[in-house]
Amino acid sequence: MKFNTQAIHAGYTIEPTTKSVAVPIYQTTSYAFDNTQHGADLFNLTVPGNIYTRIMNPTTDVLEQRVAALEGGVAALAVASGMAAITYAVQTLVQAGDNIIAASALYGGTYNLFAHTLPRQGIEVRFFDVKHPEQIAQLADEKTKLVFCESISNPAIKVADIPQIAQLAHQVGVPLIVDNTVPSPVLCRPLELGADIVIQSLTKYLGGHGNSLGGAIIDGGKFDWKAHSDRFPMLTTPDASYHGVNYSEHFGAAAFIARARVVPLRNTGAAISPMNVFLILQGIETVALRMQRHCENALAVAEFLQNHPQVAWVNYPGLANSPDKALIDRDFNGKASGLLSFGIKGGREAGAKFIDALKVFVRLVNIGDTRSLACHSATTTHRQLSSEELKTAGVSEDMVRLSVGIEDIDDLIADLAQALEAAK
Ligand SMILES: *Cc1c(COP(=O)(O)O)cnc(C)c1O
């Protein structure tokens, strides 16, 4: 099946009891065992089946199969948010004393997790410049467990050269994890470009309507854990915390997702609610159609801003004169998603006036909604960061970030024009 067919059908065959066409919402915490032996077999992972909604649910299972299909992976795990997905992906491979290598241009929440929370738990995070991935070789040592980057970073909008970064990660013997939230699998499929594991914040384009949080980890199933068993004993030796299971032996290509489910998710519990899963599944059915409009509208907005006298700079990798346009053409189907940023002349003060004058663009800190959204990162998402950290994260004080929605483009341009006038 091709992408749009998968977006509507993957993971669900009409449920035989009720013949429900829409994916049913299994709003249940637990599932009855046929008898003691059945319960024991389920816990031993010797028969497939449901136990408890913290670790699996039939509605969630459809979502997991669907996002795995859309990203071209072998298995997926859905959790309560994008941040939970990132945390669990790291915790599946890493423990105190280890280190990871991450691009410094990151989503604000991820940056805080990596720069502040993980180090307090004994995990060192070594940052590299996503535009200089050759730094990975110098940063890596025998305690390095993974390389992490965003395909298109939010909010700095830097485009990663995924094939090159994947090759450098593999040279040091570790998998590449790519947060593919901004382009969504409609524009970019990192697993086909050499990445090993993909993260999606389902909250953004896949859900797409600004109504539910969710996150997913998708495994391409290609990284050979056994060939690197000294580095990844968690996946290649018996796990005492789970009946001595050896994940690579037992689950083969799906070992990573299996451990993510039965260790971090089971033991720390950021489970997604079946209702959110249902809403996200509704969003996924139309994601390719919406993405097309997001991209068209964002390009039109970028071109308008680029020619506006009050605008100092525009960062939209879909612009013909963007230094990232070649990467966008090669790896992103020529389209650059709905996220763009620009510098308003007059800095912080003009930025605040501009934001306050907007009438159609909504002032908030989200992306990937049908609605157009605007935010001033330095005073909101990134306000905990020092000026030095802002610089590393690629966030300047005059930067306004737009997530361009799917409204009529004339209304969006008119709104930006009047707000720029008000900011004079
Ligand atoms: C929003 C976002 C996240 C976090 O997702 P939540 O669902 O809000 O937890 C992670 N990465 C990127 C690129 C994001 O835009």
97 within 8 A of 233, measured Cβ to Cβ: no
List the residue whose alpha carbon is closest to atom 8 of ligand 1: 82
Same domain assignment for residues 329 and 229: no
Residue with tokens 């050896």: 246
Same domain, 272 and 320: no
Question: Using CA atoms, how far apart are residues 285 and 12, in angstroms rounded to an integer?
Answer: 12
**Is 316 found in the same domain as 244?**
no
Q: Which of 238, 260, 282 is the last residue of a domain?
A: 282
Which ranges of 230-314 does DSSP label H, i.e. alpha helix?
233-236, 247-251, 255-260, 266-268, 274-285, 287-306
Cβ-based neighbour number of residue 296 at 10 Å: 16
The protein residue whose alpha carbon is closest to atom 4 in ligand 1 is 82
Q: Which of 230, 253, 282 is the last residue of a domain?
A: 282
What is the pLDDT, as a whole number, of residue 412? 98
C-alpha of residue 83 to centroid of ligand 1, in Å: 6
Q: Tokens in use for 196?
A: 């090993």
pLDDT recorded at residue 393: 66
pTM of the model: 0.96
| Shared-domain flag, residues 110 and 198 | yes
* Residue 192 identity: E
pLDDT in tens, the chain (424 residues): 999 999 999 999 998 999 999 999 999 999 999 999 999 998 887 888 999 999 999 999 999 999 999 999 999 999 999 999 999 999 999 999 999 999 999 998 999 999 999 999 999 999 999 999 999 999 999 999 999 999 999 988 999 999 999 999 999 999 999 999 999 999 999 999 999 999 999 999 999 999 999 999 999 999 999 999 999 999 999 998 888 899 999 999 999 999 999 999 999 999 999 999 999 999 999 999 999 999 999 999 999 999 999 999 999 999 999 999 999 999 999 999 999 999 999 888 888 899 999 999 999 888 999 999 999 877 777 777 777 877 776 778 888 999 999 999 999 999 999 999 999 9
Residues 6+ apart with CB under 8 A from 68: 11, 74, 75, 76, 218, 219
Same domain (yes/no): 57, 188? yes
Question: What's the CA gap between 106 and 128, in Å, rounded?
Answer: 11
CA angle 28, 21, 204 (to 5 degrees): 70
**Total of domains in the chain:** 2
Q: Whose CA is nearest to atom 6 of ligand 1?
A: 82
In tens, the pLDDT along 278-324 reads 999 999 999 999 999 999 999 999 999 999 999 999 999 999 999 99
Answer whether 369 contacts ligand 1 (Cβ < 6 A).
no
Compute, in angstroms, the gap from residue 331 CA to the centroid of ligand 1: 21
Q: Between β-strands 124-128 and 99-103, what pairing exists: parallel, antiparallel or unpaired?
A: parallel
Final residue of a domain: which of 267, 282, 297? 282
CATH code for the domain in which residue 151 is found: 3.40.640.10
Asked if residue 270 has its Cβ within 6 Å of ligand 1, the reply is no
319 close to 325: Cβ distance less than 8 angstroms: yes
Q: Please check whether residues 15 and 148 belong to one and the same domain.
A: yes
Within this chain, do residues 222 and 310 fall inside the same structural domain, yes or no?
Answer: no
Same domain, 188 and 66: yes
Domain that residue 301 falls in? 288-422
Tokens for 410?
A: 């004339």
Both 142 and 225 in a single domain?
yes
Q: At CA 102, angle to CA 253 and CA 324, rounded to 5? A: 100
Pair (235, 293) in one structural domain: no
Pocket test for ligand 1, best of 154, 340, 402 (most atoms within 8 A of CB): 154
Same domain, 227 and 316: no
Q: Kindly report the number of other CB atoms within 10 A of residue 190's CB atom.
A: 31
